[in-house]
């Protein structure tokens, strides 16, 4: 059988971790652990970075912000850790967290650890040896939507995420933010953008009941079962998760 699992690779130049300091920290904070520590990196993702740690015979995933980032609110490791820590029990596809470290003397930035989810990830170029029929594609597409609907149906207050976002006025804030960011980085005068901006402001739909939304729900943030690629066993990259309009989450996924 071909190996279709998603594998870590060598760490990208400039994104290396201080292995000795990290090994000492892990041994001190994870009961029963011992070295040596080896570090590899998953190839996708240039926002928050994802590493595979092998501490003797145990595998652990580490997430940290990108190097050199000054926008701390966009890479809030503590927030992402808190979301997953509460979410996993109610939504098993969310990773199981192990530890959060805000001591920047270890890596130079906060980070958190979680258990790996082993499976297949459909990136831009799917595995060459993967057999994928039209029927399987349809079944996976249905799983994709069913899984998103199940996330939106969660009682986010009951699982402790009621303070995660501000659902009132969510769509208005999104549209205003898109327009402000465009003007803040504009390099050309594009009359059609002004027309689109006016149309968006004038055609805001009325929001329904708020839900927990992922905000980056796409196939390369899914982990698929290695023996059944129509089954989603993991959903990754929760950094933009919030409480908002579930239809906006669906729209982002379709886009």
How far is residue 36's CA from residue 188's CA, in Å, rounded to a whole number?
A: 53
The domain spans of the chain are: 19-114, 134-254
The predicted pLDDT at position 70 comes to: 59
Please state which of the four CATH numbers 3.90.1300.10, 3.40.640.10, 3.30.300.30, 3.30.200.20 is assigned to the domain occupying 19-114.
Answer: 3.30.200.20
Give, in order, the Cα–Cα distances in Å from 166 to each of 5, 161, 230, 237, 244: 38, 11, 34, 20, 7
pLDDT score at 75: 73
pLDDT of residue 45: 58
The pair of three-digit structure tokens given for residue 155, joined into one six-digit string: 């009682």
Q: Provide the CA 144 distance to its chain's centre, in angstroms.
A: 15
Q: For residue 71, what pLDDT is reported?
A: 53
Half-sphere exposure of 253 (CA within 13 A, CB side): 20
CATH number of 134-254: 3.90.1200.10
Secondary structure (H, E, C), 173-210: HHHHHHHHHHHHCCCCCCHHHHHHHHHHHHCCCCCCCC
Per-residue pLDDT of the chain in tens (255 residues, 90 and over written 9) = 457 788 888 999 999 999 999 999 999 999 888 889 999 999 865 578 999 999 988 999 999 999 876 555 557 899 999 999 999 999 999 999 999 999 999 999 999 999 999 999 988 777 777 888 999 999 999 999 999 999 999 999 999 999 998 889 999 999 999 999 998 988 888 889 999 999 999 999 888 899 999 999 999 999 999 999 999 999 999 999 999 999 999 999 999
Tell me the whole-structure pTM to 2 decimals: 0.88
Per-residue confidence (pLDDT) for residue 132, from 0 to 100: 83
Angle (nearest 5°) at CA 41 between 36 and 44: 165
Report whether 110 contacts 101 (CB < 8 A).
yes
What per-residue string of b and e applies to 70-104 under the rule 16 or more CB within 10 Å gives b? eeeeebbbeebbbbbbbbbebbebbbebbebbeee
CATH topology match: 19-114 vs 134-254 = no
pLDDT of residue 102: 95
Q: Which of 198, 211, 220, 208 is nearest to 241 (CA)?
A: 211
């Amino acid at each position: 059988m071909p190996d279709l699992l998603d594998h870590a690779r060598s760490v990208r130049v400039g994104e290396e971790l201080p292995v000795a300091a990290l090994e000492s920290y892990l041994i001190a904070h994870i009961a029963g652990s011992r070295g040596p520590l080896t570090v590899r990196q998953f190839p996708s993702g240039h926002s928050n970075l994802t590493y595979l740690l092998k501490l003797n015979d145990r595998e652990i995933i580490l997430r940290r912000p990108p190097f050199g980032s000054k926008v701390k609110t966009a890479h809030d490791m503590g927030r992402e850790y808190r979301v997953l820590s509460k979410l996993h029990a109610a939504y098993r596809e969310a990773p199981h967290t192990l530890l959060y470290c805000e001591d920047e003397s270890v890596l130079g930035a906060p980070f958190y650890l979680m258990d790996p989810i082993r499976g297949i990830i459909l990136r831009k170029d799917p595995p060459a040896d993967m057999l994928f029929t039209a029927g399987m594609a349809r079944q996976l597409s249905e799983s994709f939507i069913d899984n998103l609907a199940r996330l939106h149906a969660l009682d986010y207050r009951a699982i402790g995420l009621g303070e995660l976002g501000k659902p009132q006025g969510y769509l208005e804030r999104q549209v205003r933010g898109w327009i402000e960011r465009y003007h803040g980085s504009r390099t050309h005068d594009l009359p059609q953008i002004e027309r689109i901006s006016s149309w968006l402001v004038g055609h805001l739909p009325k929001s329904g009941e708020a839900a927990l939304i992922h905000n980056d729900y796409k196939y390369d943030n899914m982990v698929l079962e290695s023996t059944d690629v129509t089954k989603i066993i993991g959903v990754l990259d929760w950094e933009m998760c919030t409480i908002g309009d579930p239809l906006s989450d669906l729209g982002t996924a379709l886009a």
